[in-house]
Structure formats: structure tokens, C-alpha cells
Structure 1
Amino acid sequence: MQQVEGATADVRRVPQPAMVGTGPGPQPLERPGTAAPARRPRLFVIDGLRLVAALLVALHHYTGTARADRPGNLIWGRPVSEIFPDLFPVAAYGWIGVEFFFVISGFVICMSSWGRRPRDFFVSRVIRLYPAYWFAVVFTTVALTVAPAVFPALKPTQVIINFSMLQQGLGMPHVDGVYWTLWSELRFYLIFLIVVATGLTYRKVVIFCCVWGAAAAFAAKSGIPLLLTLADPDSAWFFIAGLALYLMHRFGQDLLLWGVLGLSWVMSQHDLVTRVRFEDVSTWTGSLVLYTAFLLVMLGVSLGLTDRIRWKWLTTAGSLTYPFYLVHYAVGVTALHYLHDRVDPRLLVAGLLVGMLVMSWLIHSLVERPLATFLKKGLTAAFSRLGPVPVR
């Protein structure tokens, strides 16, 4: 998923900068390295959307799979559509929560990196992604070693490589299958870091969207493995949609940004069709409606229509999303497998979701925050030894 979600950041609305000129888009009176204002009202809705996306993915994994070769059928022993006749039609589309995560990630990463140095961007990603992830790798490995009925535990060497979060690039299996989304997130961060290093501006982000989009469109036919890896044609257009939405949020809408957003919507249909065929439980029409509705909600956020929503509990909800996503799948499916004959199915799923949320809060409070503080202090000190970046 950021998430995959891993794309959590300080989601705050940025006041509109002054505009000049009559070019093709708004031209802000800001220098590439200018820091954003210190105090900005938070975009609480983004936090809530993260949690909704995570819960959709979890519901899909627990109650929305139907193919005989899926773990969901190993859990229940019979089609989940018979056990959850009312919930299954909704849960069947829960996989689309991953695509929601990618859009949110594009929005939030652009927001959180604006006016920041590359080293700050790097540190922020490390302390956000790795603490909870390292715990999840250990926790999931131990759980699957003790209870390997659904998913076997990996070999020790494979587990060690998983700590890098780069296992997919080496062709190694994931400790938990949902970690594939982190590979997409990492590639996005890597190439967007290049733009951050030059100083983010409206023009540069638009050019990045166009160049990366073109690369994603032609990568599959290029026959160049490196281009295919960096362009990430299956996910790139969702990140690009998030970037365009953030530019609308920061600078206001214009025809160019509408064009980028519209093209991303069109090109994303290839991934939606592919996912529909792979999951084999939903329809393209349904996924199109859901994804379009989500983009409309994000558009409302971008244009300030949701600014009055300031429910403080949404901040906590957002902080739980990443740990929840990391631990819900392999361990959750295994728990369902062992308990499904002993507890009412609906009570079991509800209890597991609540239990996973409580565990996510504990991970965030006892692991993620303390370790992030330690890493931030250490990495900041390490970068300070490199000295200031030479002025060009």
C-alpha cells in the first residue's frame, strides 16, 4: 500500500503564494529553497482517507477473495461469498485501497518535501518507513514460524534481505505479500528526490509529471529493464494524479493541471483492468466508479472544500494506517484460519480488525515514535558532518 501507503506526512494546507505573470500556469513568487510556513492548518481528511483505504484492503483480504488458489479460501474452507453475502460485494473491491494509497502518497510527498533540502526529504522517508516496517518483519516472521499453516516463513537469508525493503528489486520474496506496494513507493521517492534536489516549483513538478508519465507509457514496449523499473507503469499514474492534485491545492487549478489529472485518470484504467482480472472478484465498471469517486473527494480536498473538517481523532487514525497495513495480512489471515471454526465469522472479522488497530497504536506509540526520534537525531548529525551543500 505508502502506503502504501508509507506515505504519511504532516498533511497541512499551504496558503496560496502571490502570483505574477501570464504564462501557462500560476507563477509563484517563491525561490526553490524557500521553506513553507511553520504553522498551517492540517488536512484532517487525508488522515481519514488513509484509514479508509487500509480498512478496504483488510476487508478484501479477510472477506473479499473467491478464487480457489487464494488464502481467503484456506481461511474459511468454503466460498466467502456464502459466509458474508452482504459484505462480499463491497469487500471484493477492497483491493482498490492500494491505488488510493498511491494517489495520497503523491499528494503528501509533494506537500511534505516542498521547500526542504534533499537530506531532509531522505531523513523524513527513512524515519517514517523503516521503524514500523522493521518491527513488522520480525513480528510476521515469528508468527509464521510458529503457525505456518497458510503462509510459510521465509529462510533466514531472505528475512534479512527483507529488512532493506529492497527485496523485490533483488527478485527475493516478501515476508508479507502486501509489501510489494513499498517497492512502488520507494521507486517514486527515488526519482522524485531528483526534483527535490533542484528545488520544487510549479514548473518542475509539472515537467516531472509529463516526463515520468511519458516514460511509464512507453516503458513496457521499450525492452529496457531499467526503464521499466524506474517508470513503474503499473503505479506511476496514481502518483502523478496525487502530484497534480497537490499543485491544484497549492497554486490553484488551471487547464494544464486538469489535463495532467485527466490523463492520469485515463491511463490508470490499464492498471484497474489488470487488477480486476487478477483479483477475479470484481468488475472494471465498479472499480472505475470507486476510483473516480475517490478522485473527486481528493479534488475537494485540493480545492479546500473539506477544510472545515477538523476532527482531532483523524490524526490518530492516520498514524495507525501504516502499521495496520504492515501487519494485517499474513498474521491476520493466519489468525482467521485457526479461529474460523471456533468464533462466529462476523464477530471474528470485527474483532480481528479492532485488535489490529489496537496493535497498530501500540506499534506507533512504543516502536515507531521512539525509534523515529532516535534515527532522526542520528541521521541529522551524520548529514551535518558532510557540511553545507555548495552554492552553485
Structure 2
Amino acid sequence: MSRDSRLLELDALRGIAAMSVVLFHYTTRYQQLFGHTSEPSVSLPWGHYGVNLFFMISGFVIFMTLDKTRSPMDFVVSRFSRLYPAFWAAVALTFLCTHWLGLPGKEVGLDVALLNLFMIHGLFGIPDVDAVYWTLQVELIFYALALLAFRMRWLGRVPLLLGILFTLSLVYFGFASLWGIALPWVFSQFLILKYIPWFGMGIVIYRLTRSAARPVGADIAVLLAAIGLLWLVESAQQAILAAALGALMWGASRGRLAVLRNPVLVWLGTVSYTLYLTHENIGWALLRKLQGAGMGVDVSIVIVLAIALVIAGLLTKLIEQPAMVWVRRWYQGRQKRGAALA
């Protein structure tokens, strides 16, 4: 199985994760916050776990990227081009649509929207233009930790590093909570201790895909430790879910899940980032308008989902992909000019 086929399967998993979150927000979460005019025929109360799958996929993809990265700046430019241009467009669109359509309790001022553009606003208590942005801050912190490991040449010690972070997570969420000890919030926030088992599983699954020439005992131990940690500090259900998603990712990373190469799923993976960024507040505002005008719940959800997919497709085609190409070409050209002058 070719590497490209395996990446298609991982893209499809990303698309499934995004759709799970979208359907959760349009059914269960909307009902909790605003209330549908009647019960939707389908609800997805577990769909928010798509975020956890996102984190697992990120662990895999970021360490695969670092294996091909020559310098820290290469990595920074790669991540910037992937995340920021589409994010800026999403912030602008969501801000405008939320104010135009109206969404009580979710509207923010222009000053707050501008501060959102840095993507780290939540670390300073600044409200989100769209609540899904919290996950991007978690991703950025993970990137910073991964880049530090790359810069310090610690990638070969990943099992040890993850073991340390798992231990800190157990202390923070397990023993400290059990004993009533209040540890600093910043300690958890900047080490993403709540989510490190999910990232760690993705990292280890990537390492196992290229393990032919080295022992894998430490990686297997880390994988089991991540599942055990989730069992101890979260729930048995989360641990079982992590094991199931890990098995799914393993199959996809080995190119063994041909069903995931379905063109629709692959396309969903392609637009998953912009879909995730723009679906929530815009979708909720549209649901309020449509249901307020007397449209049935199920029909309104289908229509809003279709609109969300169109918006995601347009942003991907017109903003995300062209900006990624332009930024990387600019950076490569700058490198070539610098080399010529040297």
C-alpha cells in the first residue's frame, strides 16, 4: 500500500471526526443551549469525541512532519501556512454572520475579534468568536512542545518524554484531585495534560508504522499507559474509546481500511479544517432563523449542514489551499535568495 493511500485514509478519518463534531453541535449541543422547536430524529451526544480523534491524528501527522523537517523554521512556516490564513478568514466570516443573523450570548465586539486573530487569546481569558477555537490553542501548545523536542534532539526519547507527561497528568488530575490539592491551572494548561494521552497515542502509532528496524516494546508500553491513564483520570468509556480509535488509526496508517478511500470521505477530510472552524456559530444562527420561521427541525439541520459544507468547500478552495501554497513558495524563495547571497 502506498504512502499516499495511507494518508488518504487518515484524511478520511479527519473528515469523520469533523462531521461527528458538527452533528453533535447541530443536534445535542444546540438542544442544550437554545432548544430545537421539537426533538431531532437523530442526535449525536458522543460526537464531541471527534475532537479527541483530531488530537490523535495530530500526534501522528506532526511527528511524521518532523521526520521530514530540516529546521525549526521550516516547521513553523509549514504550520503557519496550514492554520492561520484559513483561521483569519473564518474569524472574519463568523464575526460578520453572527452579528448579521444574530446569536444571543455569542456575539463579541470587534476588539475581541481582532485579538482572536492571534489564536492564543484564550490563554489570556479573551472570549472566542467561536467556541471551537479552544482546540486550536491546545494544538498550538502541542506544536510548541513537539518543536522543542525536535530542537533539543529529543525525538528519539519520545517514550520517556511521554512517560513523564503521563505521570504529571496522573498527579494533576488523579492524586491532586483525590487529595484535594489545588495545583496551578497554568501547570495543566501549558503542558496540555488533559489531552496528552490522545496526542501521545497518535505519536506512538506513527512510530510503530516505521518500526521495522527497531524494538517496539517502549512504544507499546506508552500506548497501554495512555489508555490506562484515561481509565484512571477520565472514565472506562474514554479508555475503551481511545483503544478503539487507536485501532482504527493503526489500520488507516497501514493502508488497511480501503473503505476510507471513499471520495466523499476523502473530500470531507480535505475540508475538515474549514468546516470545523466555521460550522458552529454560523450554523446555530441559521438554525434559529430557519426554525423561527417555522421550518421543521430535521429539514433545517440538513439545510444548515449543506450550507456549512459549501462554506467549508469555498474557504478551502479559495483561501486555505492557495494561501498555503503562496506562503510556502514565498518562504522557499526567500531561502534560495539567502543561499545565493551567502
Which whole-Å CA distance do the structure 2 matches of 1:41 and 1:196 have between them?
Answer: 27
The residue type equivalent to 1:258 in the other structure is I
Which whole-Å CA distance do the structure 1 matches of 2:233 and 2:316 have between them?
Answer: 32
Are residue 350 (structure 1) and residue 306 (structure 2) matched? no
Q: Which residue of 2 aligns with 1:18?
A: none
| Bigger mean CA deviation after superposition, 316-325 or 220-229 | 220-229
Aligned pairs for 1:1-392 within 5 A: 13=3, 41-65=5-29, 70-71=32-33, 74-77=34-37, 82-84=39-41, 87-88=42-43, 91-116=44-69, 117-199=71-153, 201=155, 203-219=156-172, 221=176, 223-252=183-212, 254-269=216-231, 272-273=234-235, 285=237, 289-306=240-257, 310-311=261-262, 314-341=265-292, 342-381=294-333
Q: Are 1:75 and 1:336, in contact at CA under 8 Å, matched by a contact in 2?
A: no
- Residue 301 of structure 1: how far off its partner (Å): 2.7
- Residue 41 of structure 1: how far off its partner (Å): 4.9
Q: Are 1:106 and 1:240, in contact at CA under 8 Å, matched by a contact in 2?
A: yes
Q: Are 1:131 and 1:367, in contact at CA under 8 Å, matched by a contact in 2?
A: yes
Length, aligned pairs only: 328
TM-score w.r.t. length of structure 1: 0.76
CA-based RMSD: 2.7
The residue type equivalent to 1:101 in the other structure is F
Could you say which structure has the higher helix fraction? 2
Which whole-Å CA distance do the structure 2 matches of 1:324 and 1:66 have between them?
Answer: 17
Name structure 2 gaps, 5 residues minimum.
177-181
Q: Are 1:219 and 1:228, in contact at CA under 8 Å, matched by a contact in 2?
A: yes
Name structure 1 gaps, 5 residues minimum.
1-11, 14-39, 274-283
Which whole-Å CA distance do the structure 2 matches of 1:297 and 1:318 have between them?
Answer: 16
Q: Are 2:165 and 2:193, in contact at CA under 8 Å, matched by a contact in 1?
A: no
Which whole-Å CA distance do the structure 1 matches of 2:260 and 2:101 have between them?
Answer: 43
With over 3 angstroms needed to count, the CA separation of the structure-2 counterparts of 1:227 and 1:384, relative to structure 1, is farther
With over 3 angstroms needed to count, the CA separation of the structure-2 counterparts of 1:272 and 1:324, relative to structure 1, is farther
Q: Are 2:15 and 2:271, in contact at CA under 8 Å, matched by a contact in 1?
A: yes
Q: Which residue of 2 aligns with 1:27?
A: none
SS at match of 1:231: coil
Which whole-Å CA distance do the structure 2 matches of 1:200 and 1:311 have between them?
Answer: 37
Which whole-Å CA distance do the structure 2 matches of 1:175 and 1:250 have between them?
Answer: 40
- Residue 308 of structure 1: how far off its partner (Å): 8.9
| Bigger mean CA deviation after superposition, 155-164 or 302-311 | 302-311
Which whole-Å CA distance do the structure 2 matches of 1:265 and 1:245 have between them?
Answer: 13
Identity rate, percent? 27
- Residue 354 of structure 1: how far off its partner (Å): 2.1
TM-score w.r.t. length of structure 2: 0.86
- Residue 381 of structure 1: how far off its partner (Å): 5.0
